[in-house]
Amino acid sequence: MKFSTVALVFVTAIPLIGCASQQSNRGASATRHATADGPAAPAPAPVLPPATQPSTASARPAYWLRRPPVATIEAADFDQLWRACEESARHFGFTPDRLDYRGGVMTTLPLTSKQFWELWRNDVATLEDVANSSLATYRRTIRFDMDKTAEGGYRAAPRVVIERYARTETPITASVYLRNAFRTQRNSRAWGSRETDRGVYVPRQYWYATGRDEALEKNVASEVRKQLERQRGRAAA
């Protein structure tokens, strides 16, 4: 009796185990199909470009020189106007550099702007500019553009461009960086900085334009007029 009972239980259990295995396989297959055929994962949102792109045009002197002048001087004689512009540049401490007499263009060498304790200098016109040039290194350059007027005379337009000195940051986390931190090698590039880590290589030191000095332009134009009056007085005498 006992053997027949065990055999009966075993024969009955085999189909039940097979049915359970088939149900388990079907459940796993259904899960796999639901995962494969179900809705795909949401795609990442597209990266939209910024509304405005940064421009480096304003960091160059040519950008500011294209703007119209704030003061002009007219004279009947070109030679007198040319000499007056040259003497006016020297009056403010600038050294004439490019003298294109035929083209009517005169430019000066860049002059490092005065600081608050340099009371004898007059190349900075406002207190705000004096404060800026005392806290950072600035320089200025004068450019005179001369052309002929419709009345037959000549006109000069002074423009003064302001530039600021910049130096790329240099890490000093290692001795090799510390030795080169304060070197000023010409045409050398910075390395070991945030920019170089992104593949952007910039000069170790450079100047970039920040704007026009309209107050100094008006002072220069006023000095040119004074120089013209002195020339006429000497000619009359």
CATH number at residue 129: 3.30.530.50
To the nearest 10°, report the CA torsion of 105, 110, 115, 119. Answer: -50
Residue 212 lies in a domain: yes
Same domain? For 173 and 188 the reply is yes
Same domain? For 177 and 139 the reply is no
CA distances from 149 to 70, 98, 138, 146, 155 (A): 17, 23, 35, 10, 7
Same domain? For 97 and 179 the reply is no
Same domain? For 212 and 148 the reply is yes
Residue 45 lies in a domain: no
**What pLDDT was estimated at residue 33?**
47
Q: Which helix (H) or strand (E) holds 134?
A: helix 127-135
Same domain? For 137 and 90 the reply is yes
Same domain? For 227 and 125 the reply is yes
Q: Per residue in 58-105, pLDDT tens?
A: 889 999 999 999 999 999 999 999 999 999 999 999 999 999 999 999
Q: Per residue in 155-192, pLDDT tens?
A: 999 999 999 998 877 666 656 556 665 665 555 666 66
SS3 content of the chain, % helix, strand, coil (to 5): 40, 20, 40
pLDDT at 6 > cutoff 60: no
Same domain? For 83 and 139 the reply is yes
Give the amino acid at 1.
M
pLDDT band at 53 (very low <50, low <70, confident <90, very high): low
Residue-number span of the structural domain to which 221 is assigned: 57-165+207-236
Same domain? For 91 and 150 the reply is yes
Same domain? For 188 and 155 the reply is no
Same domain? For 104 and 221 the reply is yes
**What pLDDT was estimated at residue 2?**
42
- State how far the Cα of 35 lies from the Cα of 154, in Å rounded to an integer: 84
- State how far the Cα of 130 lies from the Cα of 103, in Å rounded to an integer: 34
Tokens of 74: 């007219």
> Where is pLDDT greater, at 13 or 226?
226
**φ, ψ for residue 157, nearest 5 deg:** -125, 110
Residue 14 lies in a domain: no
**What pLDDT was estimated at residue 74?**
93
Least confident of 7-21, 61-75, 203-217: 7-21
Residue 13 lies in a domain: no
Same domain? For 104 and 183 the reply is no
Residue 70 lies in a domain: yes
Residue 29 lies in a domain: no
Residues 6 or more apart in contact with residue 72 via CB below 8 angstroms: 155, 156, 157, 221
Instruction: Mark 1-13 as b/e (b = at least 16 C-beta within 10 Å).
Output: eeeeeeeeeeeee
Q: Per residue in 15-29, pLDDT tens?
A: 444 444 454 445 444
pLDDT band at 8 (very low <50, low <70, confident <90, very high): very low
Q: How confident is the model over 106-123, as a mean pLDDT?
A: 94
Same domain? For 82 and 129 the reply is yes
Rg, C-alpha atoms of the chain: 39
Residue 2 lies in a domain: no
The total of structural domains in the chain comes to: 2
Residue 97 lies in a domain: yes
Sign of CA dihedral 127, 128, 130, 135: positive
